[in-house]
Amino acid sequence: MAEAQNDFSDDDVVRSVREGHVRDFEILVERYKRKIVNFIHKMIFDYDEAQSLAQDTFIKVYQAIPKYNSLDNFQSFIFTIAQNTTLNYIKKQKHIQFFSSFLSPGEENNHFRAADNQYELMEKDQQDEIVSTALKKINENQRLALILKVYLDFSYQQIAEITGWSIPKIETLISRAKSNLKKQVHHILKIS
Amino acid sequence: MDIDEDSDMNPIENSTGLELLEQVMAGVKELPEIEPRPDFTRQVMFNIKEKEKLGRFVFPSLILTPFQLIFSPFQKLGLQGILQGIYFTRNREKK
């Protein structure tokens, strides 16, 4: 199956993997790796961690394949796992930042500073940097909703499937995200 | 788009309200993509195979049945010893 990968739907490949053809899982990795790496990267803005969390996501997807219901959308299934993996990582980072702020006061946002440097090495464009810096500063649920809607161009229905949130909640989160992002961009421009 | 701090032509700084919001949203939409590492797929498949091996050969010996989970700590500590200890302590308190 791996040779003629474009001829098969996600569900066909999942069925084949379930039947024991582990190598066919490669087709799904090839199909989604770019989207997943970029989705995670836009949530955390750290190149190395995005690659690592995306790898974890695919391993979790493989392990969760027995639970996948073919009535669901496979893309939503994989993005739900990517979203949970990323939000758990962000939560852990918050704990680390909280405790490290006691150990070394005045050195907040070390993690993001390191990520900033990496991001700068990859992309020099200053406007992208302003947008990404502002994105990092908004609440993670607002950021998640905005990335799914604006960056990945998902419908409200797809976002609801991925996140488990109601459509009115998603609309509220996106509206707040937009407002806060605008404020952050203003703030960054003022202090620069 | 470069942003010149001193220039009046800075598109973000000189716009307000809706205009700024539109520009920021366009900025989000056009954030540069990154490439997955060249060995990304190979790494994922390698890790899956490793996990499969672990699942087959190591996990069964580590999995405890509910019966073992409940009774093995008591067996180790000696359930009889604990009960005797409680009995003697109570008796001593009464005396």
pLDDT tens digits along B52-88: 777 654 434 455 566 655 666 556 566 677 777 777 7
Q: Does B29 touch chain A (CB under 8 A)?
A: yes
Q: What is the DSSP letter of A151?
A: I
- In whole numbers, what is the pLDDT of chain A averaged over residues? 84
Contact A123 B32 (CB under 8 A): yes
Query: Which pLDDT band holds residue A150 (cuts at 50, 70, 90)?
Result: very high
In the predicted structure, residue A120 carries a pLDDT above the cut 70: no
What b/e string do you get for A159-188 counting C-beta neighbours within 10 Å, with b at 16 or more?
bbbbbebeeeebeebbebbbebbbebbbeb
How confident is the model at residue A59, as a pLDDT?
95
In the predicted structure, residue B2 carries a pLDDT above the cut 80: no
How confident is the model at residue B70, as a pLDDT?
61
In the predicted structure, residue A101 carries a pLDDT above the cut 50: yes
| pLDDT tens-digit readout, B10-67 | 455 455 567 778 888 988 998 999 999 999 999 999 999 888 777 654 434 455 566 6
AA identity, residue B10 = N
Give A86's Cβ-side CA count (13 Å radius).
Answer: 27
Greater confidence, A148 or A185? Answer: A148
Q: Does B36 touch chain A (CB under 8 A)?
A: yes
The Cα A95–Cα A101 span in angstroms is: 10
A192 three-class SS = coil
How confident is the model at residue A104, as a pLDDT?
55
Question: Residue range A27-48: average pLDDT?
Answer: 96
The percentage of chain A sitting over the pLDDT mark of 90, rounded to a whole number, equals: 61
Contact B32 A128 (CB under 8 A): yes
Query: What is the value of ipTM here, to two decimals?
Result: 0.77
**Exposure of A60 by Cβ count < 10 A (0-12 exposed, 13-18 middle, 19+ buried)?**
middle
In the predicted structure, residue A185 carries a pLDDT above the cut 80: yes
Query: Mean pLDDT: which of A115-119, A125-129, A181-185, B89-93 is highest?
Result: A181-185
Cβ contacts of B40 on chain A, cutoff 8 Å: 29, 33, 37, 51, 54-55
Per the CB < 8 A criterion, the answer to whether A86 and A54 are in contact is no
How confident is the model at residue A115, as a pLDDT?
39
Per the CB < 8 A criterion, the answer to whether A37 and A54 are in contact is yes
Instruction: Please tell me the distance in Å from A73's CA to the nearest CA on chain B.
Output: 22
In the predicted structure, residue A60 carries a pLDDT above the cut 70: yes
In the predicted structure, residue A111 carries a pLDDT above the cut 50: no
* Lowest mean per-residue pLDDT among A4-18, A20-34, A44-58: A4-18
Which pTM does this prediction carry?
0.71
Cβ contacts of A33 on chain B, cutoff 8 Å: 36, 40-41, 44
Query: Which pLDDT band holds residue B5 (cuts at 50, 70, 90)?
Result: very low
Query: What distance lies between CA B21 and its chain's CA centroid?
Result: 34
Residue identified by tokens 């620069």 is A192
In the predicted structure, residue A46 carries a pLDDT above the cut 90: yes
